[in-house]
């Protein structure tokens, strides 16, 4: 009986260590990575008929658009805004104008 209990304890320890090694916690996406958007945000932005503005700067995740670029809010979705820059739909943080994702 003692051997069985020792074997079970060893298996639990090994299993826990293996599980801990496969668990990944992401606290902040990489600046060049993409954020997984709620489907409602993407759908809403893709359906809008918003005129494109011309912008000379780089349109990339993590870049901050100037205050002169008008950002539209996404209804009922705090934290998400959008604009169309150089014919590309861009999801941004409404308060900071930081690019969250560029939709293709």
Domain layout of the chain by residue ranges: 39-103
Tens digit of each residue's pLDDT (9 = 90 or more) over 32-79: 455 678 999 999 999 999 999 999 988 999 999 999 999 999 999 989
Q: Give phi and psi for 93, each to the nearest 5.
A: -75, 120
**Alpha helices (H) in 1-104, listed in sequence order:** 2-22, 39-47
Mean pLDDT of 94-99: 95
**Neighbour count for residue 68 (Cβ, 10 Å):** 8
90 within 8 A of 84, measured Cβ to Cβ: yes
- pLDDT(18) > 90: no
pLDDT for the residue 14: 52
Q: Tokens 């916690």 appear where?
A: 25
- The whole-model pTM stands at 0.65
Would you place residue 31 in the very low, low, confident or very high pLDDT band (cuts 50, 70, 90)? very low
HSE-CB for 58 with a 13 A CA cutoff: 5
């Amino acid at each position: 009986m003692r051997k069985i209990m020792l074997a079970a304890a060893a298996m639990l320890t090994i299993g826990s260590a293996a599980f801990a090694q496969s668990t990944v916690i992401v606290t902040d996406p990489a600046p060049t990575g993409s954020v997984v958007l709620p489907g409602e945000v993407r759908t809403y932005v893709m359906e809008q008929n918003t005129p494109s503005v011309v912008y000379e700067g780089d349109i990339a995740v993590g870049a901050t658009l100037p205050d002169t670029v008008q950002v539209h809010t996404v209804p009922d979705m705090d934290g998400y805004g959008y604009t169309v820059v150089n014919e590309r739909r861009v999801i941004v943080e409404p308060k900071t104008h930081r690019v969250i994702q560029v939709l293709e």
